[in-house]
């Protein structure tokens, strides 16, 4: 729409003026906000921007490719990919407490990002002066206000950056709501799968494994999640659902039967929710046929899973994520 064209033009001019000939860096997560923010900055200053994408090994199936291949093809952005999978998994080994997982992931993310940053700083060029962040209007309100809103889980989006960062922030989405950000993303020609991606937590699949995280468990939840997303998309219901976590109860074993044999596998939980802002949510009334397809495919195709359960709790009292 014309308003989104205006926002793009306005932001592009503003970013150019602010940045001058300095270099700019951005942490790209693959989520809507950072992708759109970086694409706007890329449109404004091109080569002066370098994006860093940290693969922490906790991503869903296909997400790395989506950034490394599709996003780069759509934006032409300078991208530095850091493969930190071993590092993150090493530090997470044996950790079961959700907040501890978040702390470790937050800490390692900053470490990894800073190392990448240093490399960029050391490559010849104009000074690096700015950092792009995909802060939205609701983030500003939520972290600015503070009063009354209990900080149930530690989030890293705003204010989670180390104090000694000497960069000024560029936050081109600061006045926008999510739906407007999506429109800007479409305007900028980003891949629809990214523009319409459901929110996904920074700590990734680590908080969708109830129990300790390891490569094998990640593979289970990744496969189950891919099936659920594929079927939701095939049913044309992506935009009816806010988020659709698939959770592996890794420390629970359930008895099942397959062929002539008794199995002793793990349950996965489907947690489709509808919501406006993630503060409150309701469980999505997905069609039974869709749920059936997802359940049949998961138990057939993901070896270690022999039971699929549906979470029918609203938020409150349940949170969207299980951890």
Please state the closest distance from residue 42 (CB atom) to ligand XMP, in A. 23
- Name the DSSP letter for residue 152: -
With respect to ligand XMP, which residue has the nearer C-beta, 14 or 315? Answer: 315
314 marked as part of a ligand binding site: no
Pairwise CA distance, residues 238 & 216, whole Å: 28
Q: How far is the CB of 54 from ligand XMP (least distance, A)?
A: 14
For residue 323, which of 152, 132, 142 has the smallest C-alpha distance?
A: 152
Is 139 annotated as a binding-site member? Answer: no
Q: Closer to ligand XMP at the Cβ: 12 or 322?
A: 322
Q: Which is nearer to ligand XMP, 193 or 278 (CB)?
A: 278
Residue 35 annotated in ligand binding: yes
Is 29 annotated among the ligand-binding residues?
yes
The verdict on whether omega for the bond into residue 245 sits within 30 degrees of 0, i.e. cis, is: no
Shortest Å distance, C-beta 174 to ligand XMP: 18
The contact set with ligand XMP (CB under 6 A) reads 102, 152-153, 155-157, 199, 201-203, 243, 278, 315, 319-321
Length of the chain: 323
C-alpha to C-alpha distance for 140 and 21, rounded to whole angstroms: 28
Question: How many angstroms separate the CA atoms of 73 and 190, rounded?
Answer: 9
| 275 marked as binding residue | no
Tokens of 232: 């939701």
Q: Do the annotations mark residue 30 as ligand-binding?
A: yes
CB neighbours of 6 closer than 8 A, spacing ≥ 6? none
- Rounded least distance, CB 100 to ligand XMP, Å: 12
CB of 200 to ligand XMP, least distance (A): 7
170 vs 205, beta carbon nearer ligand XMP: 205
Angle between helical axes of 85-92 and 98-122 (0-180°, round to 10): 150
Q: Residues annotated in the binding site for ATP, as ranges?
A: 29-35
Q: Residues annotated in the binding site, as ranges?
A: 29-35
């Amino acid at each position: 729409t014309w308003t989104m064209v205006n926002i793009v033009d306005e932001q592009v001019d503003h970013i150019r003026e602010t940045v001058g000939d300095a270099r700019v860096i951005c942490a790209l997560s693959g989520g809507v906000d950072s992708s759109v923010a970086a694409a706007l900055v890329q449109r404004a200053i091109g080569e002066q921007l370098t994006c860093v994408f940290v693969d922490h090994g906790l991503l869903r199936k296909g997400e790395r490719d989506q950034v490394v291949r599709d996003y780069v093809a759509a934006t032409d952005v300078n991208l530095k990919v850091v493969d930190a999978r071993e590092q993150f998994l090493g530090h997470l080994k044996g950790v079961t407490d959700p907040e501890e997982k978040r702390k470790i992931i937050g800490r390692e993310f900053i470490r990894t990002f800073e190392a990448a940053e240093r490399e960029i700083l050391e490559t010849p060029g104009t000074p690096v002066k700015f950092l792009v962040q995909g802060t939205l209007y609701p983030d500003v309100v939520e972290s600015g206000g503070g009063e009354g809103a209990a900080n149930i889980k530690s989030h890293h989006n705003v204010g989670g950056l180390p104090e000694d960062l000497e960069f000024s922030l560029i936050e081109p989405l600061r006045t926008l709501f999510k739906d407007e950000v999506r429109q800007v993303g479409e305007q900028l020609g980003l891949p629809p799968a990214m523009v319409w991606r459901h929110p996904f937590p920074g700590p990734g699949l680590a908080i969708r494994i109830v129990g300790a995280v390891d490569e094998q468990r990640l593979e289970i939840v990744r496969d189950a999640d891919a099936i659920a997303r594929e079927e939701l998309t095939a049913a044309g219901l992506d935009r009816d659902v806010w988020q659709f976590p698939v959770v592996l109860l890794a420390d629970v074993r359930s008895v099942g039967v397959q062929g002539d044999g008794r199995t002793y596998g793990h349950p996965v939980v489907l947690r489709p929710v509808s919501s406006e802002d993630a503060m409150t949510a309701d469980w999505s009334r997905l069609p039974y046929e869709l749920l059936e397809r997802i359940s049949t495919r998961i138990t057939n195709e993901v070896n270690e899973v022999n039971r699929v359960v549906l979470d029918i709790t609203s938020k409150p009292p349940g949170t969207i994520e299980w951890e």
